[in-house]
Amino acid sequence: MSKPEIVGKVPINVVELRQELKAIKKRDEELTFRGNKTEEYLNDFAKMSKKDADEMVNKLRKLNITRLKEEFIQKIVDLMPASVAELKVILQGYTLSVKNEDMTKIIKVVQEYLK
């Protein structure tokens, strides 16, 4: 039995995870039970293209909002909040305070990608 070793932890969004699962499926020819369940979930909920997700992440990074870490940016891309109230609910689970004007900037970026 192999013993995997964690080399580093980097937050990714569901679009990137879907791409990684495709690469694993191509490499191994089939996924495990959990891999298949995850793939089903991602196919249902990850509707954004990789290009759009990358653009959105870059735009959110360029806002230079203090204390907005990479994990929060990835969570925003995953959940795509349509209003400041929804963004507050998402960020409520973390020990993070963001000004209302910064939240408005974030929502403007997200609304560019809402379909």
3-class secondary structure per residue, the chain? CCCCCCCCCCCCCHHHHHHHHHHHHHHHCCCCHHHHHHHHHHHHHCCCCHHHHHHHHHHHHHCCCCCCCHHHHHHHHHHCCCCHHHHHHHHCCCCCCCCHHHHHHHHHHHHCCCC
Q: Is the pLDDT of residue 93 over 90?
A: no
Determine the pLDDT at residue 112: 93
Q: What does pTM read for this prediction?
A: 0.84
Q: Tell me the mean pLDDT in the region 47-69.
A: 92
